[in-house]
Structure 1
């Protein structure tokens, strides 16, 4: 009975993958024929089926960009970058989409050594760093076994040095994995989806208005409170906005 259940689950999974592949091809065809609304509907159906990929998010961003949907295009490009932060096509297209936003907010950029380290760590996702650390651990074990069973002193020294070097690289990869995970999970962002949203000094309708934001602007989410969200812009400015005016990444 257990085997039948496993076979059934595998069959359902394969069927879902085939369906999503068909939807992806149909969406691509619709996009090629400038039927962007149909393409969006089919890409979103893939997401509703539980499949996420950088390609689907990227194509969704492109379709929304063609329809001048500023906030959705930036949102889906950002989602694609979460899965594939080194994709140059996504990086280029998101800059085009950002050029359509109204708010021009300067960025307080990091400087010096910390900036270089963070840029290097951000080259890969935390999953990639984790997989790399596992691979290096396996290589370390293999090198150590060769070292242990080797009889020649010169070879033993070489293998020992290589094993120590790989071990250190593995430790660094683990550190980078946790650091990237902390960045991704502790730094939650959102895109403003309202045409214009009022940001207040406190989480209340009676609070004083601090400034207004427009669709497509990206903000860091700091805190939630009774339907209000405290956000921080790239220049360090903070305020409270209604939760309904944003969509979290």
Structure 2
């Protein structure tokens, strides 16, 4: 259930918690009363009890947005989107929050064969690709048995053709599942929480500064060395940032 709060230009709302948690209801009540900082404290107390949900992160994002907390609002909307990637409300509110950021970073578009493959791979989750592969194998086995024990030539031909297609689909889906898993492992996003952070060419303070980032910017973490993280931006720029300046989304 959503308790709608109307604001100028857009509408931000809080979700009802599936478990009907009393603390969550109290946090929602505080949110509706405009006591956003107190609502955040209540929501975060739920997180400390190891309870996570898209609804909880969504409400935390909204409460922080109301207080103009750029990095936390983006962070929590991103966390909500990880758990519920097809939710349009989360996507829209994340877009509003991102408009508060300072850094304007271009995204290098994927082109050619790589773009096609990644689009296909990202069509389903790893589990879905795996289920398709298992289904293909089962169909292959059943139709192969039908082919083996059937006496009619037409039935044997149909069973053979479909069984081969099923096997090909199973192999293709398995390959996509492995590729999706590989992409998931490489995907290590983080949000800059420091108001301004100097990104260095190497993992030390004396190194040359290559650029600066500001709160709310999303980065990809490529490597870690002591108290530093090597990051990459959507325009393929790379550098080393102090670990304390970012917060990992995973």
| TM-score class normalised by the smaller sequence | 0.7 to 0.9
Cα distance between partner residues in 1 of 2:171 and 2:50: 34
Is 1:222 paired with 2:194? no
Cα distance between partner residues in 1 of 2:126 and 2:143: 26
Residue 248 of structure 2 aligns with which residue?
Answer: 248
Cα distance between partner residues in 1 of 2:128 and 2:47: 23
The CA deviation at 1:26 is 5.0
Distance 1:146 1:34, change over 3 A: farther
Residue 103 of structure 1 aligns with which residue?
Answer: 103
Cα distance between partner residues in 1 of 2:148 and 2:76: 51
Distance 1:180 1:57, change over 3 A: farther
1:54-74 Cα deviation digits (max 9, x unpaired):
343333323322332211222
Cα distance between partner residues in 2 of 1:170 and 1:45: 45
Residue 117 of structure 2 aligns with which residue?
Answer: 117
**TM-score normalised over the length of structure 2:** 0.79
Shifted more, 99-108 versus 197-206: the winner is 197-206
The CA deviation at 1:185 is 0.9
Divergent runs of 4+, >4 A? 17-35
Distance 1:210 1:138, change over 3 A: same
Cα root mean square deviation, aligned:
2.8
1:6-62 Cα deviation digits (max 9, x unpaired):
xxxxxxxxxxx9967555555555545544445434444444343443343333323
SS of the residue corresponding to residue 169 of structure 2 reads helix
Distance 1:238 1:67, change over 3 A: same
1:1-249 → structure 2 map (5 Å cutoff):
21=21, 23-24=23-24, 26-249=26-249
Cα distance between partner residues in 1 of 2:204 and 2:135: 51
Shifted more, 26-35 versus 87-96: the winner is 26-35
**TM-score normalised over the length of structure 1:** 0.79
Cα distance between partner residues in 1 of 2:222 and 2:51: 28
Q: Which has the higher helix share?
A: 1
